[in-house]
A and B are shown apart, each in its own frame.
Chain A
Amino acid sequence: MTGPTEVLDCLGQRCPLPVIALARRLPELPVGAVLRVLADDPAAAVDIPAWCRMRGQEFVGRVSPTSYDVRRER
């Protein structure tokens, strides 16, 4: 698997800011692109996968304690 298309640095941001940043940026990337979100708010571990489910985007996985990969599906 190749690395992420782009990295979104949300370190130090509290909920729901990382999810807002993700929602703003992902649609600007081409379908199939992977956005890596860096976030150290513990809520991100719950809210990024939940956002993907609600929005029909693919949650690829948590690749480190503070980074989450999301693929644009549509």
Chain B
Amino acid sequence: MTVTGAYFDAATAAPLHPVARQALLAALEDGWADPNRLYTQARRARQLLDAARAVTADILGVRPDELSFTASGTAAAHAAVLGGLAGRHRAGRTFVHSAIEHSAVLHAAQRHVAAGGAAASVPVDRLGRLDPDAWAAAVAAPGVGLAALISASHEVGTVQPVAAAAEACAAAGVPLYVDAAQSVGRTPVPEGWSLLSASAHKWGGPPGVGVLVVRKGTRWESPYPADERESGRTPGVLDLPAVVAAAAALRAVTADAAAEATRLRALVDRVRTTVAATVPDVEVVGHPTDRLPHLVTFSCLYVDGEALLHALDRRGFAVSSGSSCTASTLRPSHVLEAMGVLSHGNVRVSLHRDTTEAEVDRFLAELPQVVADLRAEAGAAGL
């Protein structure tokens, strides 16, 4: 199926990279066997898996035996949090995390707390950047088992001070888990972490492939029933063709990452400045410069987020929103809440390699009228 209209939700799922499509089709032919068996077909599958792991590990700058594929980015995040905490349960049972982690991390934290552990949330500023002093104090407190920091906010794009956070963790002897789902394939992730997770469909791989890295020397204990696959870190047989496709896509996007980041950053900057100039009463959120190259978020006063999404969809623009009316929980995004910025009328635009300048310009040309119409319908024009 060809995607029609302008797809601006790469931060949820980037369109499948053409290289991934080719690799997927090829691997469906000869990558269907279980790589753990001892016959010809299995050896071929093993070769494909080993190659995919080697490529992915090389790009992430880790050893292949430190990297496991998982069934999703969410599964990798759950395994990082719960396995990292289980491995350190004698050292401490408190899980320190930023207030703007992905819900997968926060849900794992809830599970940890329900099982008798503790969690401590570290605030961010108005721009969505971690409070470094609060972080240092939180990880230095007694009884901390693991700390988690997202590499960059998946909702507002603000890059987090991972290197500084890692230093504070090292000083306190606490392992750091970095959720790098929005960064891998786009921008380098700073050193200093012990655990990392990523998600292939954020970089142009297929859905259903996550990556979990556990650095050597990190205590990690599986939160699942025993299973020997993927160094004992992933239960069940992997979707090997999808893994092969994910690795191929990662190699392709990494090769183009610097040029693509420059191109998309210019488009994101255009969205930020144009929206602020042409849409009245709009709050463009996130750090103005220290941000992901492909993602921009803004909130429109007096506008219902769900109505805005539908109005944009009718005009052929696919975007997402952190407004409560667009969430099943009816709560506003915890990220916008933690930043203390307007949560209704929220739009996240996230771009990818197929995004054209013309698409962005058409969006910027049509948005002011869409917002004005919705305000008029709500009786909020001129307030």
Contact = CB atoms under 8 A, between A and B. Distances in A.
B9 interface: no
B324 A42 contact: yes
A43 B324 contact: yes
B135 to A, nearest CB: 22
Contact of A19 (B340, B344, B379): B344
Q: Chain B interface mostly helix, strand, loop or mixed?
A: loop
A7 B261 CA distance: 50
A16 B344 contact: yes
Contacts of B345: 16
How many interface residues does chain B have, given as a range? 20 to 34
Interface residues of A, number: 18
B106 to A, nearest CB: 16
A6 to B, nearest CB: 18
Contacts of A20: 302, 378-380, 383
B325 A54 contact: no
Among B303, B378, B380, the most chain A Cβ lie within 10 Å of the Cβ of: B380
B337 interface: yes
B283 interface: yes
Contacts of B342: 46-47, 50-51, 54
B343 interface: yes
A46 B302 contact: no
B283 A41 contact: no
B380 A50 contact: no
B325 A15 contact: yes
Interface in B330-383: 330-332, 336-337, 340-345, 378-380, 383
Contact of B343 (A15, A23, A24, A54): A15
Interface string B269-310: 000000000000101000000000000000101111100000
A14 B302 CA distance: 11
Contacts, number: 70
A14 to B, nearest CB: 6
Contacts of B378: 16-17, 20
Contacts of B330: 14, 41-42
B325 A46 contact: no
Contacts of B234: none
A43 B301 contact: no
Interface in A9-57: 14-17, 19-20, 23-24, 41-43, 45-47, 49-51, 54
Given A16-B378, A23-B302, A47 B343 contact: yes
A54 B344 contact: no
A46 B303 CA distance: 15
Contact of B383 (A23, A41, A50): A23
Contacts of B324: 14-15, 41-43
Contacts of A45: 337
Given A23-B302, A54-B283, A43 B340 contact: no
B332 A42 contact: yes
Contacts of B160: none
Q: Which of A15, A23, A45 gathers most chain B CB within 10 Å?
A: A15
Interface string B299-328: 101111100000000000000000111000
B155 to A, nearest CB: 13
B337 A46 contact: yes
B340 to A, nearest CB: 7
Contacts of B303: 16
Nearest to A23: B383
A45 B333 CA distance: 12
Given A20-B383, A50-B283, A54-B342, 5 more contacts: A15-B323, A16-B302, A16-B303, A45-B337, A47-B342
7 contacts: A14-B304, A15-B304, A24-B383, A43-B323, A43-B331, A47-B332, A51-B301
Interface of A: 14-17, 19-20, 23-24, 41-43, 45-47, 49-51, 54
Q: Which 5 A-B pairs have the closest CB atoms?
A: A16-B344, A50-B342, A23-B383, A15-B344, A43-B332
